[in-house]
Amino acid sequence: MRVIFLGPPGAGKGTQAAVLKGRYGLAHISTGDILRENVRSGTALGKTAKKYMDSGGLVPDDVIIAMMRERLQEPDCRSGFILDGFPRTVPQAEALDRLLEGMDITLDGVILFEIPRQLVIDRLTGRRICGSCGEIYNVSFKSTKVPGVCDRCGGELVQRDDDREEVVIRRLEVYEEQTAPLVRYYEEKGRLIRVDAGREGDRVVAAIEKAVGL
């Protein structure tokens, strides 16, 4: 399986990617992970990226693509991969197409996680994380026995700053601005596969498996 996951924050892309990674031995690749690993390892690309990150700027597409080329050559990609959150723009998609063509890699599809906007807002604003052990809960979908207290370790639950409603709404606006052209791009190429991400997780995974012929 060689796929791209597209969808808003809170759509469950990371959760479903983890399930498929465990089931099929796929590499789960995100831009953030690649950047952090290159910076941590002090690679030449990492040093270049760090200059932009330290100044608050965006890392140029050519640097990201170069990191992606190296990542796709690692052994864990031989069984397949999931690109999570990349590409984000049409120029990135075009650069990725050229990269994959040059590496003789064919995508099995681009999975679009479709989910009602309000459900995303409810999922993200209701998320609470244990400050001690990191366990994740949700006030609407996975509450604790004692409000505000972790079932696992008794730690205090906190809300991340980027899960506040005004921040979530802005994140969704940015996603919608960037992704609408990307959806059209892959739809015109006949690669887009739409999946109802508002359902139970196991049904979403089954839909993805069916879509790519697993």
The mean pLDDT of 159-177, rounded to a whole number, is: 90
pLDDT digits (tens, 9 = 90+) for 8-30: 988 999 889 989 999 999 999 98
Domain count, the chain: 1
Model confidence at 186, pLDDT cuts 50, 70, 90, reads very high
Write the CATH number for 21.
3.40.50.300
* Angle, CA of 160, 164 and 169, to the nearest 5°: 130
Which residues, including other chains, have CB under 8 Å from residue 81's CB and lie 6 or more apart? 1, 2, 3, 26, 27, 28, 29, 72
Q: What is the pTM of this model?
A: 0.85
Q: Are 116 and 122 in contact (CB under 8 A)?
A: no
Does the pLDDT value for residue 57 go beyond 80?
no
pLDDT digits (tens, 9 = 90+) for 197-208: 998 888 999 999
Model confidence at 31, pLDDT cuts 50, 70, 90, reads confident
CA torsion through residues 181, 93, 62, 39, sign: positive
Instruction: Look at residue 48 and tell me if it is in a domain.
Output: no
Which candidate in 21, 36, 88, 194 is catalytic? 88
Supply the DSSP symbol for 149: B
Instruction: Look at residue 39 and tell me if it is in a domain.
Output: no
Which candidate in 36, 171, 191, 194 is catalytic? 171
Instruction: Look at residue 64 and tell me if it is in a domain.
Output: no
pLDDT of residue 102: 96
Which candidate in 160, 164, 189, 203 is catalytic? 160
Determine which of 81-90, 94-103, 173-182 has the lowest per-residue pLDDT on average: 173-182
CA–CA separation, 22 and 112 (whole Å): 21
> Domain range spanning residue 87?
2-26+79-115+172-211
* Angle, CA of 176, 5 and 122, to the nearest 5°: 55
